[in-house]
Chain A
Amino acid sequence: MKIIILGAGQVGVSVAESLVSEQNDITVVDVDAARLRALHDRLDLRTILGSASHPSVLSEAGADDADLLIAVTQSDETNLVACKLAARMFNVPRRIARIRATDFLDDVKVLGPEGFDVDLSICPEQVLTEYIVKLVEFPEALQVLDFAGGQVSLVGVRAYKGGPLVGNQLKDIRRHIPNVETRVVAIFRQDRPIVPDGNTVIEAGDEVFCLAPEKNIREVMRELRRMDRPVKRVMIAGGGNIGLRLARALEDDYSVRVLEHNKRRCEILAAKVNHALVLNGDATDEELLEQENIGEMDLFIAVTNNDENNIMSSLLAKRMGARRVVALINRRSYVDLLQSGEIDIAISPAQATIGKLLAHVRRGDVVAVHSLRRGAAEALEAVVHGDRESCRVTGRRIEEIDLPPGTTIGALVRENEVVMAHHDTRIEAEDHVIVFVTDKKTLPKVERLFQVGARFL
């Protein structure tokens, strides 16, 4: 597939990284030559220097025969104009734009064919905010993801000694919480995936991923670890785009403090939040943290745009008594370094945010793709089409399906009803299937499974 990516910022680069490995021809456009050079050196793709909204630049980037345009520059306006041009001048069939301002989203006409002709709008900051908000709601979880419009959630949780299920076989969960429909889809033990069955014994330190309706998440987690008291006080380090969105999302239900070192930005923040308290100062300033009772904080979330700052401030916060610390870390190598150490949760923004975009890019009718464990594994939600003849999934029992190793079908959502998958569950057309893939390399195979193959038509 020929893909043009406009903007070589964080989002642009991580999209390029994810797609370049999937055998796509990628062209990246940006106004910053240095950035493009760095990208060009690292990945196998073409770079074009120029303004993303100029027709000549788009033409040079090969818009004439591109299959997909992904506009993720800093500016909403540039992204919108580029999409419109791509649609009208170059007939690019699919166009994705990053739109930050919600104003553009209020009326469907703005992005519709009469307007800027955008097929899909994404806002990574918003996705990341929702991701972190879930972690505040469920502070014991490592990750909480929604499928089928929130009907079923996937929750990752570390097993600790003291959880009733720890040291026991998985099938006991049915006995412990008989009223809860849940299914453990994967276990990571010392970073190695285990495909679980009923006899698998959970050990302390395991990372357990289970599917359950959102209302039952707490009961499932209680099986695996002692529950903390709910979060009341949250401190956010960094009042950038994400910090602000987080503060606004959390301020009604929690006591929120935001640390920001730029005075000008503090003023803007203070004007935009309602109850959250904006504090001027560095997130690594011990005195300030002490003054603001860091020891009383249930959650410390470091979301500045600097990895090192986020790491240092959350380490410091943890040392000074914050109950749980979450850090946003862009560099993959740092993430692996820190997970399960002092920092409770390390979030890789690229992995957390581009799922929706990837779902749109990939073939098959994939509704959502979520990265798990910083990209090591993926969970995807696919809609099944066709019939027994045209598709290799439809009309078959799960045990009949030729799943690649390390892949589990966790649950189905059929007409608004969640069905936990068993070996004899039969999959029907229009079911939403939630598939858990522990090895990313097998992903194309999984996707092909769900395609209505041309050779069957």
Chain B
Amino acid sequence: MQRLAGVVNLLGVIVVIFALTMLLPLGVSLYLADGAESAYDTAIVVTLLAGGVAWLSTRAGKRELQARDGFLLVTLAWTVLPAFATLPLLSYLPQLSFTDAYFEAMAGLTTTGATALVGLDHLPPSINLWRCLLQWLGGLGILVLVVGILPLLGVGGRQALRAETPGPMKDTKLTPRITETAKGLWLVYALFTVACVFALRWAGMSWLDAVMHAFTTMSTGGFSPYDASFGHWDSPAIEAVTIVFMMIAGINFATHFQALRKRSTSPYGLDAEVRAFIAVIVVSIFGVALFLYDKGVYADFGTALRYTAFNLVSMATSTGYSNTNFGVWPLFAPLWMLFLASFVSCSGSTGGGIKMLRAILMFKQAFRELARIVHPRGYIPVKLAGQLIENNIIFAVLAFMLVYGSAIIAITMLLAATGLDLVTAFSAVVACINNTGPGLGQVGPSASYAGLSDFQAWLLVCAMLLGRLELLTVLVLFTPAFWRK
């Protein structure tokens, strides 16, 4: 119990900080007088109270975070915060069910971008801003933010970050102190977001739209305040700017950090993931565009290239914007895009999926086994950029892949059992576990997740959470050994 008290104490602090972030949509609401002010008043008060009570009541149990506590804290934070995030939605849209609201909030924080709401265009701007802000907060990670602004976690902060950071090798040695690392990452994230705002404004968006889209682009979230997503603008300039920033968001922020600190692009060249990331995306764009052109979906190659580039980058980086209903393309194209979403993003980026690093390591491991058949006595190491990858990392990656695959199959089965057709069920699970957003069939790019039953929605909520926290962080809580003294 002692241990739980310590975790709840920190959770209280996090909830209080979260309540403060609601001041932004409140301010916008007051400024624009969009009629949603009252939705935030209650939400802020309730959240502050809940957080404050949790914090103050467990002050006695406050202590250094242990390695295991990190997993508990992160999982709790990522399940509790969406609940509080539903408050403004629920109070503004009384007809919205808690399930749909929680789904929406989870899709926000996990940067999935699957929406259960319809008629986004008619929502007050501040509500849409709140949705986009959720994605921005969740993009780089809530715990990273907390560790960065409050040094209260101390050494335990490292444990919390490890549990939240995506990728197989979590120890970034950017700065000696974890607080400084977190601050640095958020600074880079914020800088790119500001740059994105200006670029989108320049490309033709209004300031408010630019801010909202910068939030959801840099976090590879994919929420849009318009039902038609990027089809709303139909502007090549805006799409080009967004492609660039989605690509930036799909790269490891630690690499961005090093590049900015050294003021050179050399860290990108040294990062094996970045090279593979760019290569796979560029080759895919041209391949799929050629395919669509060949199938006669688009009359000229230029148009095919434009639509492929935007939708493919958006899907591959797990953002989930669309500027056309690619669900009607011949099945290969959207399926390939979903497949890319599952592995293209770099570790330490805001993208989802298994991460390029794991894919590279899996690939190398496979080749290593082939080489071993030919040279049974050979010592064939797996290396990345000249660095030896220890076997325990390879094993961890293999285990992760197994759990990832099993999770997809299990949730797909459960959804199929509820009566969903296979394409919808499978694509919805893949889109949610990779934090991408749009799937195919009933949950395709021009449809929404609003038609799902409560049970189906909760299953997908689980998929989103598992995907964002990379499964093991959550699953470890369900092992008896975790709870033993």
Give chain A's interface residues, CB within 8 Å of chain B.
266-267, 269-271, 274, 277-281, 288, 291-292
Contact = CB atoms under 8 A, between A and B. Distances in A.
B375 A292 contact: yes
- Among A271, A274, A281, A288, find the residue whose CB has the most chain B CB atoms closer than 10 A: A271
Given A271-B388, A274-B386, A279 B381 contact: no
A258 B376 CA distance: 14
Contact of B379 (A270, A288, A291): A270
24 contacts: A266-B379, A267-B379, A269-B379, A270-B379, A270-B380, A270-B388, A271-B381, A271-B383, A271-B388, A274-B383, A274-B386, A277-B378, A278-B378, A278-B379, A278-B380, A279-B375, A279-B378, A279-B379, A280-B378, A280-B379, A281-B377, A288-B377, A291-B376, A292-B377
Contacts of A288: 377
Contacts of B376: 291
Contacts of A281: 377
Chain B interface mostly helix, strand, loop or mixed?
Answer: loop
A270 B381 contact: yes
Nearest to B391: A267
Given A271-B388, A274-B386, A291 B377 contact: yes
- Among B378, B379, B380, B386, find the residue whose CB has the most chain A CB atoms closer than 10 A: B379
- Among A266, A277, A288, find the residue whose CB has the most chain B CB atoms closer than 10 A: A277
Interface in B355-376: 371, 375-376
A142 B208 CA distance: 78
A266 B381 CA distance: 10
| Contact residues on B (Cβ < 8 Å of other chain), bracket | 10 to 19
A277 to B, nearest CB: 6
Contacts of A292: 375, 377
A127 B139 CA distance: 55
Interface string B367-407: 00001000111111101001010000000000000000000
CB-CB nearest 7 A-B residue pairs: A271-B388, A270-B379, A278-B379, A270-B381, A266-B379, A279-B377, A281-B377
Nearest to B376: A291
A266 B375 CA distance: 14
A274 B379 CA distance: 12
A278 B371 CA distance: 12
Nearest to A281: B377
B262 to A, nearest CB: 20
Nearest to A292: B375
Given A271-B388, A274-B386, A280 B381 contact: no
A320 B380 CA distance: 25
Nearest to A287: B377
A279 B381 CA distance: 11
B55 to A, nearest CB: 48
B31 to A, nearest CB: 59
B365 to A, nearest CB: 15
B380 A277 contact: yes
Nearest to A265: B379
Nearest to A278: B379
Contacts of A278: 378-380
Interface in B323-362: none
B439 to A, nearest CB: 42
Given A279-B378, A280-B377, A292-B375, 13 more contacts: A267-B379, A269-B379, A270-B380, A270-B381, A271-B381, A274-B383, A274-B386, A278-B379, A279-B375, A279-B377, A281-B377, A291-B376, A292-B377
A278 to B, nearest CB: 4
A279 B377 CA distance: 5
A133 to B, nearest CB: 21
Nearest to A277: B378
A281 B377 CA distance: 7
Interface string B306-335: 000000000000000000000000000000
A162 B379 CA distance: 43
A160 to B, nearest CB: 36
